[in-house]
Structure 1
Amino acid sequence: MAVVFQWLVRLTAVLIVLAVVGISLVYFLASRSLPNYDAIVRVPGISDTIEIVRDNANVPHIFAATDRDVFHGLGFAHAQDRLWQMMMLRRTAQGRLSELFGTATVDVDSFIRRLDIYRLSVQSVEAQDPETLAALEAYAAGVNARLDQINAEALGRGAPEMFLFKTALAPWRPADTLAIAKLMGLQLSSHMSEEVLRARMSLALDDPARLADILPDVPGPGVASLPEYASLVPGALPSFAALSDDPHPLSPFRPRGFAGASNAWAAAASRSASGGTLLANDPHLGFSAPAVWYLARLELSSGGVIGGTIPGMPVVLTGRSDNLGWGLTTAYVDDQDVLIEELNPDNPEQYRTPDGFKEFERRDSILQIKDADPVTLTLRWSDNGPILPGSFRNLDTVTPPGHVAALSWTVLSPRDTSVQAGMGVMMAQSVAEAIAAGEGYIAPAQNLTLVDRTSVALKTIGAVPRRDDAHNSQGRMPSLGARPENRWQGRMAYSSNPGFVAPVGGILGNTNNKTIDRPFPNHISFLWGDTQRVQRWRRLMQAREVHTRDSFIEAQLDTVSLTARTLLPFMGAELWFTGEAAPAGTPERQRQRALALLAEWNGEMNEHWPEPLIYAAWLRALQDRMVRDELGPLADALTHPEPLFIERAFRDVEGAGIWCDVRQSAPVETCADMARLALDDALIWINETWGSQLESLRWGDAHQATHDHQVLGEVPVLKHFVNIRQSTSGGDNTLQRGLTRGTGQNPFRNVHGAGYRGVYDFADPNSSVFIISTGQSGHFLSRHYDDLAQLWRRGEYIPMSLDEGLARAAAVGVTRLEPLR
């Protein structure tokens, strides 16, 4: 027995030694790719020394003799910190994820190939002006210089992920940058999904008038009534199938409701306590680790610029110079239309046009798949755009037999000068120059909020399709592609895009709300991203005669939900303080405790309080009870409560109160009945998920910000090192927006919000501040992987200074790129 014990001890010791050696080897190999920020690297193609000075937050300040060299330095810095992220973005745009991830990403690659994004990006390179092309080439040379350094010095393949997914790294090209810009359009576009859902709802509802309840228009005049979808596309049949919309983590396609959102507001000098203009911007995108955003400062011939970049693109997309500040919010321009193409029954390779049947444009594309046979895709285009698979976004449920769906979309331009326009805005010295530069911007459409030393402005940039007055669906539902009135007729003039310069009140802003009310076809959009946050923003802006940098920060971090303040009085109108005290431990007593908490609540979605969780669960359960019997599985498409729908029903606007009655039951339920039943549903769910002690609940436990690694985020053990999780305040409809997941075991996870925040004060520009939600590095062994995350969670910022001396004094490293002689 003693001998056996001795051998077990020896075996255990050997296994421990082997484990330590293995872990040490893995750490050594992974750490080899950690960049050395204090280095001299000799590179070809630069005119003189480039200095990349990294401050104590790892923000690179790039100094060089020429603009070309500055962009070269930015490419090198991006590749030092975010190489894996850049390569994944490029692979996604090329439709080549399956070469690494096998069959799991075939659907993503297949759809990207059908859109032909990368080939259109290659064609768009020729449309750039010489200055932009030079910048793109210099940036690509900087990325490639880092790749050469990795290969020459055996720097761990450049990123730890490269050991797990071994693949050759092709040199960076200008087309790669343009493709990433188009890829952002996929994340910020929602009209196609809304068209399909509206069509499905139209077919499913017995009473067409109820469509305006469940998918309400933003209040205000100017919206014309629409026919039923069945009359637009004969042969379409109702489908109650559940939504097939669960994208792979690497997919650029976002579920409905996640098409991008942002805040931006500005104050003229007359409304500023300091006498200088003010600007705040916080663009909202899906959370990931690392974040989408990367902070950088470029010292250009036109002056220094600093702000948020996206790795892969040599443009400060939101930021400031000494003379100009600029910010972006998604404009929700109606830039997508689904056209139903009728196939020739005698030849399915032809489709009907206004002039008769015509052959599709066809091209084969071979999709290589890891550990599987390659697949040959046949890409087809009609005059209206690429033909889409019926499985995408449930298109097959609104496409009759003998038809296919095509997509018209401004992103699919072969002469896309959006990056060129972005560079023009970045180098502009005034509001007027920036607005002029925006004319070349194509997609995705954005609201550009601007301030210079004396003025403020907002201009919608991006191509707005020109539609016929007689368009069958006004672009709100799929329509027949053979009818000439349904086809686009070019682009509207840039001068007709909404614009507001030097408003009389001195304050302007956008929360993705409706910006303009014009009749179709000059309408810009019927779909807007916000009807709620803007109400709180108005109150905060109008509460002060003058504003400061700190008051703008306060507004960015505001967590009060006016939606809760509006809806709770309706939901609890017949429940507050009614009935006798119920015995402890009964559902009635639990309901009374919940109502007592909510009655004293001010609507603040504070992470430490229980009321936001009770309210959110109640509202979610209420909408589900109201629509489930009408829509069945189709109700799953409504992942987030629609405040306008709830309010319409409780106010019984145009008969909307009928949604509160359960059609399949004999009694006639009222909205008060539905609210009581929904509250009980919510409390049962809370009890099963979070416990029965309501007073000890924390909204932040449910509303965790999930910055997950898109590839390694679900790998056992490793996920604890690469994912960044944070308890957060805010919610779906607060200015500090934390959009909840809406599905799954925990539907209140915070998955979409302000990955970048910046506030710029032109009375003292170097007192401006910014922050991102993770850290600058994409390397999970780097201390800069998550060093900004807790600052972001607490609502703190770091200095946004163009002071070279300050950057050098706080430098954690200086990389010098020397010309290779």
Structure 2
Amino acid sequence: MVFRWLVRLTAFAIALAALAAFGVYYLASRSLPEYDKTLTVSGITADVEIIRDNSGVPHIQAAADRDVFFGLGYAHAQDRLWQMTLMRRTAQGRLSELFGTRTVETDKLLRRFDLYTLARASVSHQDARTLDALESYAAGVNARIDEINRDSLGRGAPEFFLFDPTLSPWVPADSLAIIKLMALQLSGHLSEEVLRARTSLALDDERRLSDILPDVPGAGTAALPDYASLAPGAMRYAELPDLGGDMLMPVAPRGLAGASNAWAAAPNRSANGGTLLANDPHLGFSAPAIWYLAQLNLTSGSVIGGTIPGVPAVMIGRSETLGWGLTSSYLDDQDLFLEQLNPDNPEEYRTPTGWKQFETRKSIINIKDAAPVTVTLRWTDNGPVLPATQFDIGTITPSGHVMSLGWTALSARDTSMSAAIALMDAKSVDEAVAVSSAYMAPSQNLTLIDKDKIAMQTVGQMPRRDANHQSQGRMPAPGWIAENRWQGMLPYASNPSFIAPRGGIVGNTNNKTVDRPFPLHVSFEWGDTQRIERWKTLMQGREVHTRESFIEAQLDTVSFAARSLLPLVGKDLWFTGEAAPEGTPERRRSQALSMLANWNGEMSEHLPEPLIYSAWMRALQDRLIRDDIGPLADKYRHVEPLFIERVFRNINGASAWCDIKQSSAVEGCTDIARLALDDALIWIGETYGTTLESLRWGDAHQATHDHQVLGEVPVLKYFTNIRQSTSGGDFTLLRGKTSGKPEAPFLNVHGAGYRGVYDFADPDSSVFVISTGQSGHFLSRHYDDLGQLWRRGEYIPMSLDNDLARAASVGITRLTLE
């Protein structure tokens, strides 16, 4: 009898679980967009047709441009509504309304940046065509929201079943706020200033600062003052809570801000006599990817490429006559300023002319399941005051001071959106360069081709700094000293420009592009010193290029850093080991060295050598710096090849890093290299096993396209997170930037979410791909279908021929006038 009841209860529980699973599936599937339909809407002037090709890419046609933008807004909202609203909430500083106390610090930070207020103010500064595009796009988004509410379409996305489904209408300011949010994600100079200041305080010998934070080789930089002289009383080794790592925090950890590759060939360097362009912008991975492919049939001509959901423009792509790509320029567009508080009135700060009242405003943050929090926003002449709890600012701020931020994106007259719209209409390289003068932030290198000419133009505003700036913008400087303050912006003509170069090739891997003295220097911090060397080899290795050779370069996995560092670090280890019994550390070290000696530096997912090399260099850098800078070593999560090279070449006495200060013996660099290799092999054995030949780099270097919210929910995470074994690494053209986190240091977390190669000898043979799929709905076949192509280095056609899209369409949505 008991057994019979147990069977019944078990059967009932299984049935109940099945019913619950069916209910969840039914509710979630209701929000799957239907692509093949006719819908009557208001807000258009004539019919709109959205043809979804076999990859889910919308090709949008209408008689008027405003209706095309309406169609793009509708398509974005069909496929990425949750992503769009999450980015809007992030920019507004309203995440805690959904996520509770977890995101309060993020909301506080975004409120202090005041991005959404600035975006609203910038709306009126757009030109008439851009305003029309913004308003029409918003109307398209709202048409989809109205349809969801009217027809009970599962709240529009599965995520809205877990969180408040209330959606306010989309407005033009929302699109501008997303551009500013992207600027925040692409900016890294603020973090570099803080780290440079902290390291300066930690080092006993200030000469060693140029080792661990080396300048890119080139003309020398004038010596900087020690940070302690700029900020007397600043703390040393003080630690604050690490608020990074949350996927809802839009500020990228150090080393994971903007990056990218782009290169172009002129007709005389092309086998087919047409210009060529390859571009793969790098951002943090997520599911879905930030990019969304689309074609817009505008009256000025068709454009196709990568859009950002929430923004009515093709940000990277091509038209019939122009191709354009973006890379992070690393222009120094951020400065931190020490602001001295009036000891008699802390509501005032010091200026070159005396004490001045802060501009203040109260802001209330509503928090789910908790009481609201009120924050006081404070602004100085230099910019907003940032909290001590973010960016480790509190560790370098003396008592009686606060820190403010100057940043080009903090403008209420930002016309970057107008520049993006105008770029889609441009017919030539020269016209594209001219209209991009309206672009303000984030600064980018714009690589361009038309049918005859190639160019690379840095766009975005360059702050005008005084030649006598105390830190040259490399570390926080007293904001009350006039020479440290910005004096407006430099003219657009000051931006680096490379138009129709004689060599017929332009390109950028975030490398140093110009060598100009401060204050026209562009930047002291650059994103790459290694990939550029491999790129030069591939570009100059053949007289003419093809679409296939550009694809080959885009997918290249050879690490210049590995090829240059291994002979240097291991020069006294390769063949000097003695015979040792099987299973001993000495035997494993000898085996590892033998494998690395025969390795060509290819970071293939199938090989063991990339993992051995990466673990060795990581352990080596940690051994070199930890005894000198203590816990601050945790902030140096990624290997810096220039630092290791300086140490092992003993440039300006840099081999001093090899001696362990806490020991009485004097260690040499060979000793540290040997110890670091043993450290690496122990870690590998504990994590992946002791059989070196069976190791796979791809097991450690998995691309982590994780859903920002559902990716942390038990069970659901197995459906929403996309993990893929990948080749490449930190310093390969097929860039797969590693996380650097102790628990999984080599996960691939930052890379090319979009790849495109455009061939103007045969424009419709151009190709592109994104790293996940078009849909943000995990039940859609378009959620991850492009991800497998992306992983294998494959692409889909990038054609402007609408008949081809129609022939293999998965659905045609017709929006008709109400």
Alignment TM class, shorter chain as reference: over 0.9
Pick one of 353, 366, 369 that aligns with 2:367.
369
Measured in 2, the distance between the counterparts of 1:82 and 1:38 equals 18
Structure 1 residue 232, shift from structure 2 partner: 1.4
What residue number does 1:225 align with? Answer: 223
Contact 2:260 2:510 in 1 (8 A): yes
Contact 1:240 1:634 in 2 (8 A): no
Contact 1:610 1:694 in 2 (8 A): yes
Pick one of 40, 45, 69 that aligns with 1:42.
40
Pick one of 654, 657, 670 that aligns with 2:655.
657
Matched, 1:642 2:640: yes
What residue number does 1:100 align with? Answer: 98
What residue number does 1:447 align with? Answer: 445
Pick one of 8, 11, 14 that aligns with 1:13.
11
| 3-state SS of 2:296 partner | strand
CA deviation vs aligned residue, 1:4-32 (integer Å, no higher than 9, x gap) = 11111111121121111111111111000
Measured in 2, the distance between the counterparts of 1:447 and 1:617 equals 33
What residue number does 2:470 align with? Answer: 472
What residue number does 2:390 align with? Answer: 392
Query: Structure 1 segments of 4 or more deviating over 3 A?
Result: 240-243
What residue number does 1:628 align with? Answer: 626
Q: Which amino acid aligns with 1:33?
A: S
Q: Which amino acid aligns with 2:440?
A: I
What residue number does 1:210 align with? Answer: 208
Q: Which amino acid aligns with 1:599?
A: A
Pick one of 563, 568, 571 that aligns with 1:570.
568
What residue number does 2:327 align with? Answer: 329
Structure 1 residue 222, shift from structure 2 partner: 4.4
Measured in 2, the distance between the counterparts of 1:167 and 1:361 equals 35
TM alignment of 1:165-176, pairs within 5 A: 165-176=163-174
| 3-state SS of 1:124 partner | helix
What residue number does 2:815 align with? Answer: 817
Pick one of 495, 504, 507 that aligns with 1:506.
504
TM alignment of 1:622-771, pairs within 5 A: 622-771=620-769
Contact 2:577 2:590 in 1 (8 A): no
Structure 1 residue 234, shift from structure 2 partner: 2.2
Contact 1:275 1:763 in 2 (8 A): yes
Pick one of 338, 346, 351 that aligns with 2:344.
346
What residue number does 1:406 align with? Answer: 404
Measured in 1, the distance between the counterparts of 2:238 and 2:502 equals 50
Measured in 2, the distance between the counterparts of 1:242 and 1:691 equals 35
Contact 1:350 1:358 in 2 (8 A): yes
Measured in 2, the distance between the counterparts of 1:684 and 1:234 equals 43
| 3-state SS of 1:470 partner | coil
Measured in 2, the distance between the counterparts of 1:167 and 1:106 equals 20
What residue number does 1:773 align with? Answer: 771
TM alignment of 1:25-104, pairs within 5 A: 25-104=23-102
Structure 1 residue 237, shift from structure 2 partner: 3.3
| 3-state SS of 1:376 partner | strand
What residue number does 1:555 align with? Answer: 553
What residue number does 1:282 align with? Answer: 280
What residue number does 1:579 align with? Answer: 577
- Over the residues paired in the alignment, what is the CA RMSD in angstroms? 0.8
Contact 2:237 2:631 in 1 (8 A): no
Structure 1 residue 245, shift from structure 2 partner: 4.7
Structure 1 residue 310, shift from structure 2 partner: 0.4
CA deviation vs aligned residue, 1:694-739 (integer Å, no higher than 9, x gap) = 0000000000000000001121111100000000000000000000
TM alignment of 1:268-279, pairs within 5 A: 268-279=266-277
The total of aligned residue pairs comes to 818
Structure 1 residue 276, shift from structure 2 partner: 0.3
Structure 1 residue 242, shift from structure 2 partner: 7.1
| Alpha-carbon distance change, 580 to 247 in structure 1, aligned in 2, over 3 angstroms | closer
Matched, 1:591 2:589: yes
Q: Which amino acid aligns with 1:255?
A: P
Measured in 2, the distance between the counterparts of 1:245 and 1:222 equals 36
What residue number does 1:794 align with? Answer: 792
Matched, 1:486 2:523: no
Measured in 2, the distance between the counterparts of 1:475 and 1:397 equals 18
Measured in 2, the distance between the counterparts of 1:317 and 1:15 equals 51
Structure 1 residue 744, shift from structure 2 partner: 2.9
**Runs (5+) with no aligned partner, structure 2:** none
Structure 1 residue 241, shift from structure 2 partner: 3.2
Contact 1:288 1:707 in 2 (8 A): yes
Contact 1:329 1:512 in 2 (8 A): yes
CA deviation vs aligned residue, 1:654-677 (integer Å, no higher than 9, x gap) = 000000010111111111110000
Q: Which amino acid aligns with 1:683?
A: L
Structure 1 residue 243, shift from structure 2 partner: 7.7
TM alignment of 1:189-338, pairs within 5 A: 189-239=187-237, 241=239, 244-338=242-336
Measured in 1, the distance between the counterparts of 2:351 and 2:786 equals 55
Contact 1:245 1:255 in 2 (8 A): no
Q: Which amino acid aligns with 1:645?
A: F
Structure 1 residue 230, shift from structure 2 partner: 1.1
CA deviation vs aligned residue, 1:25-56 (integer Å, no higher than 9, x gap) = 11111000000000111110111110000000
Contact 2:240 2:395 in 1 (8 A): no
Measured in 2, the distance between the counterparts of 1:243 and 1:469 equals 36
| Alpha-carbon distance change, 662 to 240 in structure 1, aligned in 2, over 3 angstroms | farther
| Alpha-carbon distance change, 122 to 69 in structure 1, aligned in 2, over 3 angstroms | same
Contact 2:437 2:492 in 1 (8 A): yes
| 3-state SS of 2:318 partner | strand
Q: Which amino acid aligns with 1:744?
A: P
Q: Which amino acid aligns with 1:619?
A: M
Contact 1:240 1:631 in 2 (8 A): no
| 3-state SS of 1:616 partner | helix
Structure 1 residue 166, shift from structure 2 partner: 2.1
| 3-state SS of 1:720 partner | helix
What residue number does 2:139 align with? Answer: 141
TM-score of the superposed pair, with normalisation by structure 2 = 0.99
Contact 1:242 1:633 in 2 (8 A): no
Segment drifting more, 424-433 vs 241-250 = 241-250
CA deviation vs aligned residue, 1:384-416 (integer Å, no higher than 9, x gap) = 100010111111111100000000000100000
Structure 1 residue 238, shift from structure 2 partner: 2.2
TM alignment of 1:109-148, pairs within 5 A: 109-148=107-146
Matched, 1:416 2:418: no
| 3-state SS of 2:704 partner | strand
Measured in 2, the distance between the counterparts of 1:85 and 1:236 equals 41
| 3-state SS of 2:197 partner | helix
Contact 2:701 2:747 in 1 (8 A): yes
Segment drifting more, 573-582 vs 722-731 = 573-582
TM-score of the superposed pair, with normalisation by structure 1 = 0.99
| 3-state SS of 1:788 partner | helix
Measured in 2, the distance between the counterparts of 1:149 and 1:8 equals 47
| 3-state SS of 1:552 partner | helix
Structure 1 residue 429, shift from structure 2 partner: 0.5
Contact 1:242 1:637 in 2 (8 A): no
| 3-state SS of 1:429 partner | coil
| 3-state SS of 2:349 partner | strand
Contact 2:241 2:389 in 1 (8 A): no
Measured in 2, the distance between the counterparts of 1:371 and 1:164 equals 14
Contact 1:243 1:636 in 2 (8 A): no
Measured in 1, the distance between the counterparts of 2:220 and 2:241 equals 31
Measured in 2, the distance between the counterparts of 1:693 and 1:607 equals 17
